[in-house]
Structure 1
């Protein structure tokens, strides 16, 4: 595993960091290890390359990448979507530490020239470095739009670059594609334990980066780049096809339709049949995460609760929309969970879910606001709930994502065939137990999906690909960026944070129908329920005192934070983060993003 390999080489990494990581953009590195120590052997290059992996999400944040998303109700609204709460003075992502990571990569590329190491070996590690440079710049473009492109370790005298204007995203993203092509063509590694970069992860990142750029250019018409969007969609298709035809990965089905997808997130080691890149953890190496603690704590985590409009988009097992049922809006929790795509039961606590053999319905005693309590990253033993004890590997890139990237690009290009559908969306749905519509292209628009999420989309194929993406990749860190590239940021403010149906107050509710009352909701202006409540049954006030944000919709569904407005500015400024004010003070040539 990557963490353990890095521990074994920690002394050498310390030498490297003394050479490069403390350097600012305008400093000349002062060597405490000779160039031959680092660049004169394959082992030196390999060990240096481990420092790049620090750019990836760690074991303590890889499971909370969707912390801010339209479909997640939380206990504290992010300042980015609070009116007037976010500004250039509070922005981040342009700090010296961010750019030091780029300098570390460029320093390696500049100096990886020793002829004592074969060109093939050198190019392999340069390919890994260029993968990470592409990864770095993709994240910067997603966050800020235009950014300065720097392809070498800057000398302190290079004021023309140090204090230059930002380069256009078109320039930067062309370089990202070049870096990823070089990485794919030169990285020699094709199989690992799932924690290291291979030529296939380079292809995978290319599909991710090109899809973001293609759709951003298509739907953000104000950029006047629509005529170049299809070029990037084609990059997705070509890279995705090469990866699919390689046979290097396939969808994991080893646990059956009821458990296979979730197994990818709770397995002790990366399931390399499908997982292309992961953070691996180990109790023996004292490298552990705290996913359970974050997802199940009433105080440490955000009490993240999925919302009903999103849950409503998860299909029935026969492939029909759940919202086609005439009574879908008045079904209680138990009924709404029956005969649904098995990803529902692998995503949230549904009737039948157990922890250590005990029935564990949604927990309203300080854990869930909506009743849709996520389990995707959490281990089922409560032992893991109260400290950093998780050892489950955390996927960062999966083959499922590649299938969805490919499917979306084909759909946007108007080229989706029945075979494409069957091999991508159909395959993912089949893995989840869905039986209908696996090999035929959709021809009918789902009005609920369209009206709730994507009112400007009339193509049923594009709509269904988007449905599949939000269900398959839920909580994996894609959602906010997807909304930005589709120009649907309004959902961050407008999507109702509603939950399960509550037919009446002061009524005992047995959520999983096991004969035990789980929760009762009551008028929060009263002292408590007007009925006798058995021990162990949660009592949840609705409305009442000013500090209680748990209310009810007009159609009797739980609703959270209704009185706390979320804001998406009409001028669209939140499609980018502001350049931090201190960066503009240092470089007068930096222009602030519009609206900030």
Structure 2
């Protein structure tokens, strides 16, 4: 939506100023809080806390399944510390709290005031969820703080139990009091509050279950049940459902490349507009050799995407030596909606993975990119960017119930079965899984022996790939090791110095050769990729002839688990010595 900035607000930190002061020659408090239009204008400022058209498509920039051209310092040994940490900012919260405290003018009907307070409390919950997942314990503040209130300014952190319960309390208020039932997908509704509650409660329930050192496992089920209840309430009473209008081959990707949010499924999105000159740059980021990180999905993740008959791809007899064309056949249609596969076209022309200047592994994402190449330069994207959608609610419900041990066959069919059916899968839609997939278990979740939980996790990582959930998922499941250990491998290379036709369309695409040797002469349009042979070349070949990227640079996940939380910035601790640093930092 067009983000309206409320110019009367003074955005500041907790320690520097108050939001009690208004600029001279501006509207009075009565003008703002005494009319519905004033409340609406103020409330629009909260939307600036959402990701933007230049960030909402890159929320999975750091994930185990994404090979990139430069490691985030968070994964480099000794490169990240309290001195380099950030995110301890509270100005957005101050803006929200000021609104809630001041929104009490009886000239505005109570139901209207409660609606906008519900919106404000949704955004307070959104703010605190980010702080909880980033830092763990943080101070709970529910009023604008003056510079003389030292007891609050220099308070200790509140426990995660206080924070999570306050978040859920805010979301309950939003759901119960917001009067917006439907929208064009760009404004928060009561259903967005309910969907977000299912996300938050699922995070907390599983975090407590799998982080035994917190000694909170006894309360995990409380939050898992809360997640299931919120999701089921939306499933039973809300207006949303899975989008299937474009068929099994296109319905999921349509959600991400349409200009207007497809509100059948999309509950909240960042919408762009050519007319309003509000554009994004997703194409530039996902196709450029220099602007983006050349993000390439990795083979262990691609291997978990099922066959169309519902069986594991890794059950195919020769899956380890299938060519790129072979491995993409008869697979879940989400594979072809996620990456460039044979048949993918740009400007009407078959377009295989771009080894000349982009992909390191052969698995080049297309989920957020528009197919015409004219969008590739700078910020020209007009497509909406979903932030909350109904598919996630189904997954939240299924996972919460699976973790509780209460997922029924009917639940499975309504959630995982429905998602797989939407993607063309024909088998296992109406029956709970009974066998563990050893590849999925050994590669991703060695501590999980329940086939239902394993399959729900498979479905989550496939359906929500690149949407910003992965790092938090790994943290709540206590599988952060994957950030360091998952091999950044790619397609099978059947031969060196042999020009390959990746998509079998009759046109030659790429040749791989040994670095340090003379590059082979190739026709125009054929990419040449050197493997090894140079200290600056991190692209190599595994012993079983798969591409591998960045083997030479070590990714680190500390054994003490410190990276499950970020360090509180050292500058914040200098100002408030009652703050205790997170363990390990």
Is the TM-score greater than 0.5? yes
**8 Å CA contact 2:191, 2:238 repeated in 1:** no
Instruction: Name structure 1 gaps, 5 residues minimum.
Output: none
Calculate the aligned-residue CA RMSD, in Å. 0.9
**What aligned pairs does 1:30-429 form with structure 2 within 5 A after superposition?**
30-32=21-23, 33-94=27-88, 98-429=89-420
Q: CA separation in 1, counterparts of 2:398 and 2:83?
A: 40
CA–CA distance in 2 between the matches of 1:461 and 1:406?
13
Residue 540 (structure 1) aligns with: 529
Distance (Å, rounded) in 2 between the aligned partners of 1:336 and 1:181: 46
The separation in 2 between residues aligned to 1:477 and 1:449, in whole angstroms, is: 21
Paired residue for 1:14, among 3, 7, 10? 7
Deviations 1:482-532 (A, max 9, x none): 000000000000000000000111111100001111000000020213xx4
Preserved contact between residue 260 and residue 384 of structure 2 (Cα < 8 Å):
yes
What TM-score do you get using the length of structure 1 for normalisation?
A: 0.97
Separation (CA, whole Å) in 1 of partners of 2:378 and 2:17? 41
Tell me if the contact between 1:25 and 1:103 (Cα under 8 Å) persists in the aligned partners. no
**Contact 1:26–1:154 (CA under 8 A) maintained in structure 2:** no
Give the alignment of 1:555-570 within 5 angstroms.
555-570=544-559
Report how far residue 27 of structure 1 moved. 2.8
Aligned-pair CA distance for 1:23: 6.4
Partner of 1:580: 569
Distance, in Å, in 2 between the alignment partners of 1:162 and 1:26 is: 11
Alpha-carbon deviation of 1:386?
1.2
Supply the distance in 1 between the matched residues of 2:77 and 2:496 (Cα, whole angstroms): 34
Give 1:247 deviation, angstroms: 3.9
Q: Give the Cα–Cα distance (whole angstroms) in 2 for the partners of residues 133 and 292 of structure 1.
A: 32
Question: In structure 1, how many angstroms separate the alpha carbons of the residues matched to 2:95 and 2:506?
Answer: 60
In 2, Cα distance between equivalents of 1:202 and 1:264: 20
Aligned residue for 1:14, secondary structure, equals coil
TM-score by length of 2: 0.98
What secondary structure is seen at the aligned counterpart in 2 of 1:263? Answer: helix
Counterpart CA distance in 1 for 2:378 and 2:515 is: 33
Does the CA-based 8 Å contact 2:93-2:124 persist in structure 1? yes
Structure 1 residue 30 displacement after superposition: 1.3
SS of corresponding position for 2:530: strand
Alignment correspondent of 1:488 = 479
CA distance in 1, matches of 2:97, 2:241: 34
Counterpart for residue 465 of structure 1: 456
Helix, strand or coil for the counterpart of 2:447? coil
**CA distance in 1 between partners of 2:413 and 2:58 (Å):** 31
CA distance in 1, matches of 2:169, 2:342: 49
Tell whether the 8 Å contact from 1:289 to 1:390 is kept in structure 2 after alignment.
yes
Question: Partner of 1:551 in structure 2?
Answer: 540
Paired with 2:385 and 2:499, the residues of 1 have a C-alpha distance of 38
Tell me: CA distance 1:220–1:22, structure 2 relative to 1, closer, same or farther (3 Å): closer
Q: Is the 8 A contact 1:25 1:153 kept in 2?
A: no
Q: What is the aligned residue count? A: 581
Report the Cα offset of residue 21 of structure 1: 2.1
Distance in 2, Cα, partners of 1:375 & 1:70: 18
